[in-house]
Chains A and B, each alone.
Chain A
Amino acid sequence: MNKTLKIAHREYVVNVRRKSFLIGIFLMPVFIAGVSILPTLLAKKAIEGVGETRTVAIVDLTGQLYPELKKMLEEQRGGPKYIVEEVKATGANLEERQTELNERVQKRQLDTYVVIGKKVVTSHIQYEDSPDHKIQCYSRNVTDFGQSERINGAVSRALIDLRLRNMGIDPAVSTKASWNINIERLEVKKGEAKKAQGLTNIFGAFAFVMLLFFGLQISGQTLMQSVIEEKNSRIMEVLLSSVSPKELMRGKILGLGAVGLTMIVLWAAVGYTAARLRDFDVASLPNVGYMLVFFLLGYAFFGTLMATVGSVCNSEKEAQQLLMPIMLSLVFPLMVWFYIAQRPDSTFSRVLSVIPFTVPMIMMLRIAIQTPAASQIGISIIVMLISIWVCLRASTRVFRTGILMYGKRPGLKEILRWLRYR
């Protein structure tokens, strides 16, 4: 045990002093904040469009809506400033006008134009698929949701008001009738209701998954590289004349695990502090605790696998191939995380919560979104512990033989044979 700790200690000291470690410590929180917070902020800014100018042309074939519409768009508060113009057209020259308008859109003189069908005001048929009954909005950028929402709102408001007036009702009445209808979403957690944080909640949970992913990936890779390096520089033999392969492997796993833990604790501390400042609910202390637990479990599992891969390879290039399935299983939760976040209790989520390859990240995500029953967390932890035990036993055998094999990389069949060695 003492020797194992000595090996671990050296790994720790050497790796913590590395420049790449220090850079990683500082850059990763910035990066994760980037992928989880920045898109939301940017999207919000884009949707609001404050300080921008939009030019809109209206082709009002009813001849009744334009003045109202222009007023509405130009007087709108918040959002971009609208410059509205009218383009006169009749049924006969509509096509010609539209060609001109398309050209102006193309030349960026115009952002959007709206064609209001001749019969929309009086239309009483529920669905009529003819241009006369339609309002068509042409834009250069149809995915600019904030823009189309505002135009939609203005057009329908103007139209509804007109129709009401035609029916002899004061539009102010309708405005009054629709005052203050706000639906607030609340989340019930541990028997208590809380204001739901919606998107921020999900992105917070995603940040945990990202931290785990990078933590596992970086520390696992480092472990593998360190094994390959020792193998290539023949330090292995000197080490093996001092310690047993088991002590060596466990020492390395332990040492680099401590490095990984240092890294992830620092990240978590930065993340937690940042989240506190913005009253970010997801980053609660229990969640941070869970993350450390699942990091350690995940690392013991993936680290053992990666150390084994390193032991049978002569170069990192050679190792990439064997590493592929492991990396894929690490990336997999990142591909399904959104679904799991929506349906944390689905069968799919539960199945992934008992597969050792996906447990750490999936369970972490579920806990962050909606803490599952303690029994479920317990089961996945037990699954991990058993897998780690099996993996460690098998790996030690492969490791023992692999580290002294140079030359051609052994095939899977040969590796399986090593498992049976004394």
Chain B
Amino acid sequence: MEPIVCVKAVTKRFGDVSAVRELSLDVAPGTIYGLLGPNGAGKTTTLRMILGIFLPDEGTISVFNGQGIEDAKSRIGYLPEERGLYRKMKVGDVLRFFCEIKGVDKITSARRVDYWLDKVGLWDWKEKKVEELSRGMQQKVQFIATVIHEPDLLVLDEPFSGMDPVNTAQMKDIVVEQKNAGRTIILSTHIMEQAEKLCDEICLINKGRAVVKGPLSQLKRSYGTDSVHVQYSGDGSFIKQMPGVRSVDDYGNYIELKLSRDADASALLREICTKVAVTRFEVVEPSLNRIFIEKVSQADE
């Protein structure tokens, strides 16, 4: 299938600083694509270039098979990292305005505003001014503004940052619902666990460059199922010195072991059992976090 978004060897500089360097990525339709990386990696800049807010200095970006970006804007929904709503306007009016400037007619806009406010439980706030809403409510409103015109492509910059767990879950459901409705979603985050749960495909970027990219499942496989989570009580300091153990990460409640390729996990379990009381032993795929840290530290060396 033709990718919905195609970024080719894009570089963007601000003065002397290169925010994005020779970045390429393809986003397949109907998938959730995660743009991951630490703060300042160039995620927001990349998203803004996809939206046509910034123009790349080098390289090309095509959206919807080369549709002009100004026409394409009606088919895109953007949730910026720093939220922005007209504080003095009524919630309903703000949403209708954002819907209408995406080219949706008045009547349909009004209907959708009602539908969405009802759906997220903000119906009673329709006639209230934005500034009267709590932070969490404003985030929901912003989220609605992103999806209300039923865009084919959603661009979400740090969609869950600053949200409480209840709102996060509600918004996550909406994201998944959008995906199931056949929409394509690009989201950026620096929280790997989130990306792991949601994304089909990811691109890890660091200092403006792509470090790792590809389908999540494939990535994990290529990094091998060589991680083991062990939970136990007692003194486990000996585990570090055991043969076949490459490294140990202590997470407090459990430890994550990385094994060398030829190590035998079951032999390891038997041996550990003789010295401490094991409550959990699980062979897992490597976490995205681990892959990322490994890759970034490799690149920094």
What residues of chain A have their CB less than 8 Å away from a CB belonging to chain B? 2-3, 6-7, 10, 14, 230, 233-244, 404, 422
Please name 4 further chain A to chain B contacts, defined as beta carbons within 8 Å, in addition to the given A234-B84, A238-B145, sorted by A numbering: A6-B101, A235-B86, A241-B73, A243-B73
Query: Chain B: residues with CB nearer than 8 A to chain A?
Result: 48, 51, 53-55, 70, 73-74, 76-78, 80, 82-89, 97-98, 100-103, 142, 145, 155
Closest chain B residue to A236, Cβ basis = B84
- Residue pair B88, A6 in contact (C-beta under 8 Å): no
> Contact: B101 with A404, CB < 8 Å?
no
B78 touches A238 (CB 8 A): yes
Closest to B83 in A: A234
What is the chain A residue whose CB lies nearest that of B146?
A: A238
B84, A233: Cβ atoms under 8 Å?
yes
Closest 3 CB pairs of A and B: A241-B78, A234-B84, A235-B84
The answer to whether A237 and B53 have CB atoms under 8 Å apart is yes
Q: A238 CA to B88 CA in the complex, in Å?
A: 17
Which one, B51, B74, B85, contacts A233 given CB within 8 A?
B85
* Bound-state Cα–Cα, A239 to B78, Å: 9
Measured in the bound complex, the distance between the Cα atoms of B53 and A10 in whole Å is 22
List chain A residues, Cβ under 8 A from B102. 242
Please name all residues of chain B whose beta carbon is closer than 8 Å to the beta carbon of A230 when the two chains form the complex. 84
CB <8 Å contact, B98 and A242: yes
The main secondary structure of chain A at its interface with chain B is: helix
B86 touches A239 (CB 8 A): no
Cα distance A241–B97 when bound, in Å? Answer: 14
Please name all residues of chain A whose beta carbon is closer than 8 Å to the beta carbon of B80 when the two chains form the complex: 234, 237-238, 241
- Contacting pair A404 B53 (CB below 8 A): yes
Which of B73, B86, B89, B142 is close to A242, meaning CB atoms less than 8 Å apart? B73
Asked if A239 and B101 sit within 8 Å, CB to CB, the answer is yes
CA distance A236 to B78 in the complex (A): 12
Query: B73 near A422 (CB under 8 angstroms)?
Result: no
With beta carbons under 8 angstroms apart, the residue of A7, A233, A422 that contacts B101 is: A7
Do A10 and B84 touch across chains, with their CB atoms under 8 A apart? no
Residues of A contacting B142 in the complex (Cβ-Cβ under 8 angstroms): 238
A244→B54 contact, CB < 8 A: no
Pair B54/A422 contact, Cβ less than 8 Å: no
Given A238-B145, A240-B51, A233-B97 contact (CB < 8 Å): no
Q: Across the interface, name the chain A residue whose C-beta is closest to B130.
A: A233
Chain A residues with CB below 8 A from B86, complex form: 14, 233, 235
The one of B55, B83, B88, B101 in contact with A243, judged by C-beta atoms closer than 8 angstroms, is B101
Q: Which residues of B contact A243 (CB under 8 A)?
A: 73, 101
Is the pair B101, A234 in contact by a Cβ cutoff of 8 Å? no
Task: List, in ascending order, chain B residues with CB within 8 A of A244's CB.
Answer: 70, 73
Q: Which residues in B have their C-beta under 8 angstroms from that of A237?
A: 48, 53, 78, 80, 82, 84
Bound Cα distance from A235 to B79, whole angstroms: 11
Residue in contact with B51 in the complex, picked from A6, A7, A241, CB distance below 8 Å: A241
Nearest Cβ distance between residue B68 and chain A, in whole angstroms?
10
User: Chain A nearest CB: distance from B142 CB in Å?
Assistant: 8
Across-interface contacts of B155 in A (CB, < 8 A): 241
Residue numbers in B under 8 Å from A234 (CB-CB): 80, 82-84
Residues of A within 8 A of B88 (CB): 14
Q: How far is the CA of A286 from the CA of B67 in the complex (A)?
A: 50
Interface centre among A230, A244, A422, by most B CB within 10 Å? A244
Q: Which residue of A lies closest to B77 (CB)?
A: A241
Sampled A-B contacts (28; CB under 8 Å): A2-B103, A6-B97, A6-B100, A6-B101, A7-B101, A14-B86, A14-B88, A233-B84, A233-B85, A233-B86, A233-B87, A234-B84, A235-B84, A235-B85, A236-B84, A237-B53, A237-B84, A238-B142, A239-B101, A240-B51, A241-B53, A241-B76, A241-B77, A242-B78, A242-B98, A243-B101, A244-B70, A244-B73
CA distance A235 to B51 in the complex (A): 15
- Give Cα A237 to B83, complex, Å: 9
Quick one: closest B residue to A406, CB to CB? B82
For residue A242, which residues in chain B have a CB less than 8 angstroms away from its CB? 73-74, 78, 98, 101-102
Nearest Cβ distance between residue B19 and chain A, in whole angstroms? 12
Q: How far is the CB of A109 from chain B (nearest CB, A)?
A: 63
The residues of B that contact A6 with a CB separation of less than 8 Å are: 97, 100-101
Complex Cα–Cα for A244 and B77 (A):
15
CA distance A238 to B78 in the complex (A): 7
Nearest residue (CB) in B for A241 is B78
Tell me, rounded to whole Å, the shortest Cβ–Cβ distance linking B135 to chain A.
14
Chain B residues contacting A3 (CB-CB under 8 Å) are: 101, 103
**Distance between Cα atoms of A149 and B121 in the complex (Å):** 81
CB-based contact B89/A14 at 8 Å: yes
A75: min CB distance to chain B, Å = 69
User: CA of A404 to CA of B155 in the docked complex: distance in angstroms?
Assistant: 18
Contacting residues, chain A, for B103 (C-beta < 8 A): 2-3
CA of A41 to CA of B87 in the docked complex: distance in angstroms?
A: 47
Contacts of B48 in A (CB 8 A): 237, 404
Q: By CB atoms of chain B within 10 A, which of A3, A235, A237 has the most? A: A237
The residue of chain B having its C-beta at the shortest distance from the C-beta of A251 within the complex is: B101
Q: Which residues of B contact A404 (CB under 8 A)?
A: 48, 53-54
Please name the residue on chain B nearest to A242 by beta carbon. B101
**A305 vs chain B, min Cβ distance (A):** 24
- Given the complex of chains A and B, what is the CA–CA distance between A233 and B82 in angstroms? 8
Question: A13's closest neighbor in chain B, by CB?
Answer: B93
Known: A237-B80, A244-B70. A422 touches B97 (CB 8 A): no
Min CB–CB distance B104 → chain A (angstroms): 10
Q: Given that A404-B53, A422-B55 are known contacts, is A238 also in contact with B97, CB under 8 Å in the complex?
A: no
CA–CA, A244 and B70, complex, Å: 7
- State the CA gap A239–B101 with chains docked (Å): 8
A10, B155: Cα distance in complex, Å: 25
Among B53, B76, B78, B82, the one with the most A-chain Cβ atoms within 10 Å of its Cβ is B53
Across the interface, which residues of B come within 8 angstroms of A241, CB to CB?
A: 51, 53, 73, 76-78, 80, 155
Q: Give Cα distance in the complex from A2 to B100, angstroms.
A: 10
Please, which residue of chain A has its CB at the minimum distance from the CB of B80? A237
How far does the alpha carbon of A223 sit from the alpha carbon of B100 in the complex, in Å?
A: 22
Query: Which residue of chain A has the shortest Cβ distance to B78 in the bound complex?
Result: A241
Q: How far is the CA of A244 from the CA of B82 in the complex (A)?
A: 20
For the complex, give the distance between the alpha carbons of A237 and B103 in Å.
17
A233 neighbours in B (Cβ, 8 Å):
84-87
Give the distance in Å from the alpha carbon of A239 to the alpha carbon of B155 in the complex. 14
Contact call B85/A240, Cβ cutoff below 8 A: no
How many angstroms from the CA of A39 to the CA of B101 in the assembled complex?
Answer: 50
A243 to B102, CA, bound (A): 8
* Residue among B85, B101, B103, B155 with the highest chain A CB neighbour number at 10 A: B101
